[in-house]
Amino acid sequence: MSQKNNTLRGIPHTTLRRLRYTPTYFFLIWRWTFWLYAFVWIMVVPGKPKTLLLILLAITFIQSLLATLYTPVFKIYFPNWPLKSKKKKRKHVSRYRISPLRHLPWKQNNQQPLAADEDAEIIPPIARSNNPYRDIAIYGTDVIICGLVMYFSAIVGTPPFGDGSPFYRYGFSSIFAAAFAYRYRGGLAAAFGYDFFVILGLFFPPPLAHLPYRLMPQELLGSILDAPVIAILTAYMTTLLNGLTRLKRREQDSVRRQRSLLRVSETLVAGASTIEQLLQQSIKQIRQGGHFEYIIIAIISFGDDSHHAQPQIEMSVESGWVEVTPAESSKDLIYRVAQSGEKLIKFESQHTGEMEEFLSLARLYLPFKKEDQVYMVIGAEMSRKTPLEERQENFLTIAGTQLMMALENLLLTEQAADLAAAAERGRIAREIHDGIAQLIYMLSLSSETCVALLQRISENSAEEAVMLAPVAEGLEKLVTISKQALWETRHYMFTLKPLMSGTTTLTQMLTNQLSEFEAISGLPVQLEVKGTEVPPNGDQRYARKIAQVGTAIFRITQEALTNAYKHADASQVNINLQYLPRCIEVEILDNGKGVHIEPDGYNPGASGGQERIFSGHGMRGMRERAEELGGAFEIKLRHEGGTSVQARIPI
């Protein structure tokens, strides 16, 4: 019992299902059984001319052997014959590869089941191709050989049909083959062709035949009717089993799709911290759930003008590979679908070499829209004989919709976290403004009032001026320190406050910043704006990009103003803000001491007796803000004196 179980476990599940639901193997059993029957018949019949019979026996043996090797059913019993393909080490892994077993007869045009637990259609005993003339030649030759062998078997002394012929029932296997492959049409055509040789043997006996025949009418009638009846029964049984198989496949597909969608849902519900992580977690489940060989998911962006701009792949992940090389790459199809907003179904036939190989690449690319704009494209590919069906499209649609919802939830979660953080920063900024900032402002105002009072007293009395000079000097330092403290407090307030909120533009934000800077520092600042700031117009992705760029430019300007005020001893600051088609550029110019730029560009230091103006951390922070958004940052000395800080950030 144990040995039997081990033997059954060694048979692939696909083989057991095909033996259970596919009668094709009956063709081989019938052919070899009645070949052995003919062999025994010829050997035991005495006194007959066995030379010709042995020749016929050899012909039928070769024919049966070739049919056995050619039939796809042989692949059931020897799935890895003649040898297993060895995988070679490759430096670069491609998503397209050619199977070394594609040229074998049973690999030609043999559509594999979509899943390991899916029943295949009825497999024809002899492989079919897309060339009807070749198929007719193969199946017709089989009928002719079986008919001729039966015809010449009349030398045993009986008619070449009926119970007395050793090869009569052997020839029925050609009818089985045609009926399995072409149902009623093929089976009846083979039956009539086989009956032709029965009638031929009746009226035109072969050489060496023993005449006259002992012909019985019922035997002749039965022999003529046997073949059509067998053809009809075989075709009916095959049609019935195919119908049952299709029903079971639909049931299996429904259950499998529900399980797959459940696994996809569980993966999406598990959540991820980033969009890329979410796509990586879900793509494998979607590919396995739909039983695709290759799948790609791409996030699409259109820039500031979604109606005229070309689509761009913001992020993409892929999984799997296919056996055939496509005419167009997956990225090209993604761009086409993103541009048109319509699904794309392609079916690319592959013909290589002299042998026709009807391996085709079925491709399906679906767009998923958000606010009437393509936000995501999912593409699936696999090697098939037919294009991808509606069930695959439905599965991708459901899985893609779930993924879109998960992505939207992830974005909403990020936005909620940003809003919560912004609200908390705003609350802290208000507390600082209403508390510490007001106290420092009052201290600065009181110090300035005391300095002004001392100046008036000193103007009235020279003696008191000398006595009050140390006090006046201390108060002036106190005024400077209080103004610096107030500026630092305002600096932290701007750092905490949400930027680019609501309808606030970058120009308005910089204008407010410079007004407050002038009021605190007393340093005049001139702002020059070139170009026009393009509003988001409801495009959320463009709005987020503008907010990021605006925040970076605001912080860079803020740091440059702080350095000019605290270290450069400048008397004038000019800011040039320019809106270009694909980027925003800001340049901060002062007429102060200037800086010495180190070779690495990160740590400018003092030159000779000059005071160091820019701190390394502030300089590095400005550069990092620009480069994180794909921009460029540059600081240099001006020919007329002072420093130029320039940042260019794409939008």
Using 50, 70 and 90 to split pLDDT, how confident is the model at 415?
A: confident
Q: Is the pLDDT at 351 greater than 60, yes or no? A: no
Helix (H, G, I), strand (E, B) or coil at 307: coil
CA 572 to CA 28: how far, in whole Å? Answer: 99
pLDDT at residue 43 in the model: 81
Length of the chain equals 651
Q: Is the pLDDT at 446 greater than 90, yes or no? A: no
Least confident of 259-268, 549-558, 610-619: 610-619
**What is the pLDDT averaged over residues 149-173?**
79
Most confidently modeled range among 252-266, 410-424, 573-587: 573-587
**What is the pLDDT averaged over residues 422-449?**
75
Amino acid making up residue 321: W
**What is the pLDDT averaged over residues 228-240?**
90
DSSP assignment of 608-638 equals TTPPP-S-HHHHHHHHHHHHHTT-EEEEEE-
Least confident of 121-130, 182-191, 444-453, 580-589: 121-130
* CA quadruple 533, 535, 539, 545: dihedral sign: positive
pLDDT at residue 211 in the model: 65
Using 50, 70 and 90 to split pLDDT, how confident is the model at 495?
A: low
In this predicted model, which residue has the larger pLDDT, 469 or 615? Answer: 469
Backbone angles phi, psi at 123, to 5 degrees: -90, 125
Encoded tokens for 189? 């055509």
**What is the pLDDT averaged over residues 401-426?**
78
Ordered strands of the 344-350 beta sheet: 312-320, 294-301, 374-384, 359-369, 344-350
pLDDT at residue 96 in the model: 47
Most confidently modeled range among 251-255, 443-447, 588-592: 588-592
In this predicted model, which residue has the larger pLDDT, 364 or 309? Answer: 364
Domain 519-651 class in CATH: alpha beta
Domain 271-412 class in CATH: alpha beta
Phi/psi region, residue 383 (left: phi>0; alpha: psi -120 to 50; beta: rest), is beta
Q: Is the pLDDT at 295 greater than 50, yes or no? A: yes
pLDDT at residue 468 in the model: 74
* CA quadruple 188, 189, 195, 199: dihedral sign: positive
pLDDT at residue 403 in the model: 85
Q: Name the CA radius of gyration of the chain, rounded.
A: 44
Least confident of 14-18, 274-278, 463-467, 626-630: 14-18
* CA quadruple 210, 212, 218, 221: dihedral sign: positive
Backbone angles phi, psi at 501, to 5 degrees: -90, 150
pLDDT at residue 4 in the model: 46
pLDDT at residue 575 in the model: 94
Q: Is the pLDDT at 521 greater than 70, yes or no? A: yes
Vertex 100: Cα angle to 99 and 104 (nearest 5):
105
pLDDT at residue 85 in the model: 41
Most confidently modeled range among 93-102, 236-245, 582-591, 613-622: 582-591
Using 50, 70 and 90 to split pLDDT, how confident is the model at 281?
A: confident
Encoded tokens for 521? 């520092």
pLDDT at residue 378 in the model: 93
Domain boundaries, the chain: 13-79+119-248, 271-412, 519-651
Using 50, 70 and 90 to split pLDDT, how confident is the model at 167?
A: confident
CB distance 635 to 604 below 8 Å: yes
**What is the pLDDT averaged over residues 526-540?**
81
Q: Give per-residue pLDDT as tens, 11-57.
A: 455 555 555 555 677 888 898 999 998 888 888 776 666 777 788 88
pLDDT at residue 354 in the model: 40
pLDDT at residue 158 in the model: 67
Q: Is the pLDDT at 60 greater than 60, yes or no? A: yes
Encoded tokens for 555? 């912080």
Q: Give per-residue pLDDT as tens, 572-601.
A: 899 999 998 889 999 999 988 876 555 444
In this predicted model, which residue has the larger pLDDT, 467 or 121? Answer: 467
Q: Give per-residue pLDDT as tens, 363-381.
A: 999 999 887 888 899 999 9
pLDDT at residue 72 in the model: 67
Q: 470: which residues sit within 8 A by CB, 6+ positions away?
A: none
**What is the pLDDT averaged over residues 383-399?**
84
To which H or E segment does residue 367 belong?
Answer: strand 359-369
CB distance 308 to 440 below 8 Å: no
CB distance 322 to 361 below 8 Å: yes
Q: Is the pLDDT at 459 greater than 70, yes or no? A: yes
- DSSP lists the bridge partners of residue 649 as 584
pLDDT at residue 451 in the model: 80
Amino acid making up residue 421: A
Encoded tokens for 589? 């110019």
Cβ–Cβ contacts within 10 Å for residue 24, how many? 22
**What is the pLDDT averaged over residues 82-97?**
43
**What is the pLDDT averaged over residues 199-228?**
77
Residue of 371, 364, 366, 365 whose CA lies nearest to 408 = 371
Vertex 398: Cα angle to 392 and 404 (nearest 5):
130
Helix (H, G, I), strand (E, B) or coil at 515: helix
**What is the pLDDT averaged over residues 260-274?**
70
CB distance 344 to 330 below 8 Å: no
pLDDT at residue 527 in the model: 92
Q: Is the pLDDT at 611 greater than 60, yes or no? A: no
pLDDT at residue 604 in the model: 40
Q: Is the pLDDT at 151 greater than 70, yes or no? A: yes
pLDDT at residue 1 in the model: 44
In this predicted model, which residue has the larger pLDDT, 231 or 276? Answer: 231
Share of the chain above pLDDT 70, in %: 74
Which residue is it, tokens 């167009």? 328
Residues 396-406 as b/e (b if ≥16 CB within 10 A, e otherwise) read bebbbebbbeb
pLDDT at residue 528 in the model: 92
SS3 readout for 241-276 = HHHHHHHHHHHHHHHHHHHHHHHHHHHHHHCCCCHH
pLDDT at residue 379 in the model: 92
Share of the chain above pLDDT 90, in %: 12
Using 50, 70 and 90 to split pLDDT, how confident is the model at 359?
A: low
- DSSP lists the bridge partners of residue 315 as 299
Least confident of 9-23, 280-294, 528-542: 9-23
CB distance 91 to 105 below 8 Å: no
Using 50, 70 and 90 to split pLDDT, how confident is the model at 428?
A: confident
pLDDT at residue 380 in the model: 92
**What is the pLDDT averaged over residues 620-638?**
88
Q: Is the pLDDT at 238 greater than 50, yes or no? A: yes
Which residue is it, tokens 């009623």? 184
pLDDT at residue 433 in the model: 67
- Residue 284's alpha-carbon distances to 114, 319, 378, in angstroms, are 16, 7, 13
